[in-house]
Structure 1
Amino acid sequence: MSHRQIMKAFSGLLLALLVAMLSSTIVSNALPTILADLHGSQSQYTWVVTATLLTSTATTPIWGKLSDLFSKKLLYQVAIVIFTIGSALGGISQSMPELIAFRALQGVGLGGLQALIQVVIAAMIAPRDRGRYSGYTGAVFAVATVSGPLIGGLIVDSPLGWRWCFWVCVPIAVIAFVVLGRTLHLPVLKRKVRIDWLGATLLVGGVALLLIWVSLAGATFAWASWTSVAYVGGAVIALALAVLVESRVAEPVVPLRLFRNRTFTLAVLGSLAVGTAMFGGSVFLGQYYQISRGFSPTHAGLMTLPLVLGLALASTSAGQVISRTGRTKPFMVAGGISLLAGLFLLSTVDHATDLTLMGVYLGLVGIGLGFLMQNLVLVVQNTVAMKDMGSSSSVVTFFRSLGGAAGVSALGAVLSTKVASNITSSLTRLGLPAGDAVHGGGGTFDIDGLPAALQPIVRAAFGDATGTVFLFAGFIAVVTLLAVVFMKEVPLRRTLDADTTPTVAPALTAEVTTALRGRVLDSDGRPVSGVVLTLTDASGRQVDVGRSARNGEFALVAGSTGEHVLLATVGSLPPAVSTVRLTGTPAWHDLLLGGTGGVTGRVRTAGRHAAVAGAALTLTDSAGTVSASHLTGGDGGYALDGVPAGSYTLTVTAYGHAPHAEPVTVSTGAPAHHDVVLEAEPEFARHSGTLNLG
């Protein structure tokens, strides 16, 4: 795709990403007000966030696998519709269980938006060039993260009320749906679909049980209890069965072979820790500023600006440099160090921390996230083939969301326990009974509804407990730093698909798979990138699929010899079909898109120049496939039209004349004029009935 085509499609993708980001940033800042209105508790606060992360996490690999089988554009639009319905229903919630349920539905659509945007970008842009477009993605992150808390705060503080925090995303989602429908044009590869529903069910069930256990343990039941054993045991059994199923099915949701790649495995570990640090740490910032420091939702949104600016600047600058150098590891290592330092510094905050100093800490966290988030996905996409792009991208996003969901649940439980402990300690020092006060102060977000004497104690308890949350997030971020340090850097390729050409010894070439390489050219002889090439054998079975690179070159692999059909499709241009004969040795074959030519002329006899009527003309390519045929009329004229440009052999046979063959070159545009002269057939050959192959 050209830069202009990419930017048109990018507009719809970025609008959808804006919707997804706004849904989190707007709502997270309004949650204290929402829970005070709906009489929610600390555990329900985390479940409003966890419900969305849970369903988005569980469905992310499913969306990614579906994108390898179905239309990416259609799936993206379906995700937008589901997300929009969840947002609209969230705004009419009358109780906390309803809100949590609608947020879960919203998360199903969010999982599709998160997974598919990476897949669609990978289908349009080569890894080496992807950095220049990551600046736009970083800008959307910045706009959504900056404007989200501000919009959420303004909505909550205005007569509209908190319900419009959900409804405001609906019109943007509708616009994104329409824009994507008009601008995103990706080829759909038709192949037999086999979806691993059993593996998907086991995977979702196992992850759900783990997250529910982390969220409820310590509050509803003890960590060391038979209930915990049941949750953990059920999760382990479900995930073990999922691994067994994924190792045997033809189309696994999470291809286990991807984990043989060291870079992929380390990127997954790094994403898991990034998600925990990012979601688990930042989701409690709004709570800290509003409850502990007493700021309004609007003011609380402004206080997160350092984190947002650090993320936007880091992702944009890193993307530009990476496009020029092709190196990602220096930025990821720097991001891991910055994230770790920022989180450990934030672990020192309490209810009286200097806000300027805290802004510096948040800036470090933002820089770390900006250097890490997109690059962890990029290094994975750089190491896998296009056929696994959806699965691999969604697996990384899946583990990042899994880390976020587990982080929010676990750190929420830590925060709740720490708040209760702080309130108990404060009241005990004052010689007051702590039982009812702990239940009331630690379980409600309506601080203004508490007795005046209790309010400063509860606010201080929340503020002092927040540092513990960031301390745990910092320990988890150590995993991210170690993962990127031990990751082997592979220079970013300039092609959409990985080079699948096998490297074999010359003596063994005839015994292994055959490599087919070539170029895709337009009617003017210029290379065409992003063309989908499908190679099928004589029985019509798909052998391999690939895309042409920026220089028009492609590389496919066949497991057998003989005649194969090569199909090239791109955009609105007519497809090009060609027959190639593979012999076991590497072959080169060029394809021409959007341009045809032909040959016209007359067939006449030698000497007398008389027209030869009824002469049969055939035009065959280098593989021996007939490209065109014709019978001459009474004037000996013929016309072979609609032939792709290239070199051919023109064969002419006519009764009473010797067969004739000669090479011809077909160019695009007007047919070339070429007369054929036939020699009279010798008498002995006409009557003998023998075929002389010499």
Structure 2
Amino acid sequence: MTTTTAPADSPETGAAPQPMSRREVLQALSGLMLGMFVSILASTIVSNALPRIIADLKGSQSVYTWIVTTELLAMTATVPLWGKMADLYSKKLLIQLSLGLFVAGSLIAGFTPNVEILLLSRAVQGVGAGGMTALAMIVMAAMIPPRELGRYSGIFGAVFGVGTIAGPLIGGVLVDTSWLGWRWCFLIGVPFTLTAIFLLQKTLHLPVVRRQVKIDYLGALLIIAGVSTLLIWSTLAGQKFEWASGWTAILVGAGVILLALAVFVEARAAEPIVPLAIFRHRTVSLTVLTSIFVGVAMFGGTVFLSQYFQISLGKSPTVAGLMSLPMIFGLLVSSTVAGQLITKYGRWKIFLVAGGLVMTVGMLLLSRIDAHTHVVVLSAYMAVLGVGVGMLMQNLVLAAQNDVPAQDLGATTSVLTFFRSMGGAIGVSALGAVLANRVTDMFTEKFGPMAGGGEAAVPDLKTLDPAILKIVQQIYGDATADLFLIGTPFAVLALLTVLFIKEKPLHTLSGTDRLAQEQTDAPPPIAVH
């Protein structure tokens, strides 16, 4: 087994890692932040384009859900593998690989001739996004002590806010511009992604750990298969077959068995994808549970807001992008302020509790919307939800990273991201199925059996008679409100879970320095040339 503690491009060998200056950290974060900006932009820029994409490609409400779910599924299933590889191989190379996959997926999506190819491209994008999602926080933890993370998390919060704000706006403008169109929503991120790869090559220099390892591919395969089976069930149940049916028994049973086999394999693997030992840490277990609930509550409801803006409220894609600003500003302000206060005072649990409480209130308020909700009222409700999520999501990662040994930072971060994404994927697929079922039922109720005999297609508002348009808008408004009502109990569970997390003092050493300190009693590392 061979290791090195010197940077891959450093002439020094066997030297202890030196703390990075603030300037070096900011330089290293430049490419990382651009990569995060690209992945955020790619997901948000499509949100306002989806209704137009589905209408152009003749897709149904189910296809709308699958376009979102496919990327979430691919991202969720591959996050643990990315996190494990980050503990074993070059983090810089892995981030560049993930961005390369993102470029490939974006190009495929930009030139897609039909829905099927679009779904394939979203899967490729999801694998790349899984790498960026897991590796960004892992790299930050390697360079920056937890006590200082709040300051830099504020910078990431700003990048997140700009990407999330710019995405819907740019997407709306592209869709509304006849000589560009929705395909540019996928293609516009390609040059940014290539630039991020170049910047990372120039600025990111981390110690590289090289070990003789055996990655647990069987465990990874079982995890992916088990999660995918459960997500397929949650998407189709209540629509293609009844919730209580033979298909439910088969799919849920198969998913549970596959995940049980994954646990069995992981417990015996020399290099498990998900080290089960990290769940002995109470904070890790509780933050994982909270992340699942946050994913279900937030992603499950908010992913359909853009559709609500355009169909129920009759707004253009550009205006729909502007309408998302209150939630994003709430998230940006709360995450940035919370990060600065955590760095200053070293206390973090209060922000988790406050975030859980405010998020629950926001979900309840949004469960009251309909086709006639005033824009000012809607904006206030969305701002409340954004403030709650901003205080909660980022600080869950901080709490978990602060609780585990440095050697488990990558696995812990990826596991937390994995379960949050899984909660989001389950929320989107299950609540998307609920939305499709509710829309179909209400179409049948309003227009008779002929309208609901099959699955209701996402309507093109420009082709509808005014009288029918009014009914369709009310249907989508009521159905969207139901999603937030169903998601509220999960927000309550997130709040209850964070109450049991024990607050611990934040480390003042970076992940790299902590790892070196933990290995002081181990044999000296052998430099790799």
- Contact kept in structure 1, 2:357 and 2:388, CA below 8 Å: yes
Cα separation, 1, equivalents of 2:481 and 2:226: 31
C-alpha separation between the residues in 1 aligned to 2:160 and 2:275? 30
Tell me what 1:587 maps to.
none
Partners of 1:60 and 1:330 lie apart in 2 by 28
**Matches of 1:124 and 1:568 in 2, distance apart?**
20
Q: What is the alpha-carbon distance in structure 2 between the residues aligned to residue 441 and residue 391 of structure 1?
A: 42
The answer on whether the counterparts of 2:35 and 2:196 sit within 8 Å (CA) in structure 1 is yes
Mapped partners of 1:556, 1:178: distance in 2: 33
CA RMSD of superposed structures (Å): 1.7
Superimposed CA distance per residue, residues 584-622 of structure 1 (whole angstroms, 9 cap, x where no aligned partner)? xxxxxxxxxxxxxxxxxxxxxxxxxxxxxxxxxxxxxxx
Q: Which residue of 1 aligns with 2:376?
A: 356
What amino acid is the match of 1:155?
Answer: L
Equivalent residue, structure 2, for 1:125:
144
Give, in angstroms, the shift of residue 192 of structure 1: 1.4
Does 1:335 pair with 2:349?
no
TM-score, length of structure 1 as denominator length: 0.72
Q: 1:130 to 1:451 in 2, by over 3 A?
A: same
Indicate the residue corresponding to 1:46 in structure 2: 65
**How many angstroms apart in 2 are the aligned matches of 1:487 and 1:177?**
38
**In structure 2, which of residues 468, 471, 482 is the aligned counterpart of residue 468 of structure 1?**
482
Structure 2 Cα separation of the partners of residues 566 and 443 of structure 1: 61
C-alpha deviation, 1:266, in angstroms: 0.5
Residues 1:292 and 1:565: Cα distance change in structure 2 (over 3 Å): closer
Aligned residue in 2 for 1:150 = 169
Deviations 1:118-155 (A, max 9, x none): 10001000100000001111101110111100000000
Instruction: Determine the structure 2 residue equivalent to 1:326.
Output: 346
Q: What is the alpha-carbon distance in structure 1 between the residues aligned to residue 70 and residue 332 of structure 2? A: 27
Q: Which has the higher helix share?
A: 2
Q: How far, CA to CA, are the matches of 2:380 and 2:344 in structure 1?
A: 30
8 A Cα contact 1:126 1:496, kept in partner: yes
Unaligned ranges ≥5, structure 1: 428-432, 498-529, 532-544, 548-553, 570-574, 576-694
1:354 CA drift (Å): 1.7
Match of 1:489 in 2: 503
Q: Given the alignment, which residue of 437, 457, 467 partners 1:443?
A: 457
Is the contact between residue 442 and residue 458 of structure 1 (CA under 8 Å) also seen in structure 2?
no
CA distance in 2, matches of 1:238, 1:253: 15
Alignment partner for residue 32 of structure 2, among 3, 13, 24? 13
In the alignment, which residue of structure 2 is the partner of 1:115?
134
Alignment partner of 2:49: what SS?
helix
Structure 1 position 275, deviation (Å)? 1.3
Please report how far the alpha carbon of residue 456 of structure 1 lies from its aligned counterpart in structure 2 after TM superposition.
1.4
1:167 aligns with 2:219: no
**2:298 aligned partner:** 278
Residue matched to 1:296: 316
Kept after mapping to 1: 8 A contact 2:438/2:479: yes
The count of residues paired between Structure 1 and Structure 2 equals 509
| Partner SS state of residue 188, structure 1 | coil
- Find the counterpart in structure 2 of residue 315 from structure 1: 335
Give the partner amino acid of 1:107: G
State the secondary structure of the residue aligned to 2:506.
coil
Instruction: Give the superposition deviation at 1:312.
Output: 0.3
The answer to whether structure 1 residue 29 and structure 2 residue 36 are counterparts is no
Deviation at 1:330, TM superposition (A): 0.4
Does structure 1 retain, via aligned residues, the 8 Å contact 2:60–2:455? no
**Contact 1:63–1:394 at 8 Å: present in 2 too?**
yes
Query: 1:455: Cα distance to partner?
Result: 1.9
Cα offset, 1:195, TM superposition:
0.4
Q: 1:93 is matched by which residue type in structure 2?
A: T
Name the counterpart of 1:405.
425
What is the rounded CA distance, in whole Å, between the counterparts of 1:73 and 1:116 in structure 2? 9
Aligned to 1:453: 467
Distance in 2 between residues matched to 1:365 and 1:78, nearest whole Å: 34
DSSP 3-state at the match of 2:64? helix
Does the CA-based 8 Å contact 1:56-1:401 persist in structure 2? yes
Question: 2:10 — aligned with what?
Answer: none
Return the alpha-carbon distance in structure 1 between the equivalents of residues 525 and 187 of structure 2: 49
Tell me the amino acid that sits aligned with residue 558 of structure 1.
Answer: D
Q: 2:220 aligns with which of 188, 196, 200?
A: 200
- Counting only pairs closer than 5 Å after superposition, residues 530-569 of structure 1 correspond to structure 2 as 546-547=515-516, 554-556=517-519, 558=521, 564-565=523-524
Indicate the SS of the match to 2:75: helix
The 2-side partners of 1:330 and 1:565 are apart by 41
1:458-514 per-position Cα deviation (integer Å, ceiling 9, x unaligned): 1110011111001111111111101111110111110124xxxxxxxxxxxxxxxxx
* Counterpart code for 2:190: V
Counterpart secondary structure, 2:502: coil
Deviations 1:220-239 (A, max 9, x none): 22222222222111111100
Alignment of 1:81 with 2:100, yes or no, is yes
Q: What's the CA shift for 1:415? A: 1.0
Give the distance between the partners of 1:6 and 1:358, measured in 2 at CA.
39
SS, match of residue 274 in structure 2 = coil
Q: How does 1:218-229 map to 2 (within 5 A)?
A: 218-229=238-249
Instruction: Tell me the SS of whatever aligns to 2:515.
Output: strand
Q: 1:567 to 1:3 in 2, by over 3 A?
A: farther
Residue 640 of structure 1 corresponds to which residue in structure 2? none
Higher relative contact order (CA 8 A, sep 6+): 2
Q: Which structure features the higher share of strand residues? A: 1
Amino acid at match of 1:199: G
- For 2:121, the equivalent position in structure 1 comes to 102
Kept in 2, the 8 Å contact 1:307–1:365? The answer is yes
Corresponding residue for residue 524 of structure 1: none
Q: Which runs of 5+ in 2 are unaligned?
A: 1-19
Please give the alpha-carbon distance, in whole angstroms, between the structure 1 residues aligned to 2:163 and 2:316.
19
Q: 1:450, CA displacement in angstroms?
A: 3.6
Letter of the structure 1 residue corresponding to residue 207 of structure 2: P
Residue 157 of structure 1 contacts residue 297 of structure 1 at CA under 8 Å; is this kept in 2? yes
Percentage identity across aligned positions? Answer: 51
User: Does the CA contact (< 8 Å) of 1:33 and 1:445 recur in 2?
Assistant: no
Q: Distance in 2 between matches of 1:207 and 1:546?
A: 32
What is the CA deviation profile of residues 404-450 of structure 1, one whole-angstrom value per residue up to 9, with x for unaligned ones? 1000001111111222233333x2xxxxx512223589322323334
Q: What one-letter code is carried by the residue in structure 1 that aligns with 2:165?
A: V
* Contact 2:73-2:422 within 8 A present in 1 as well: yes
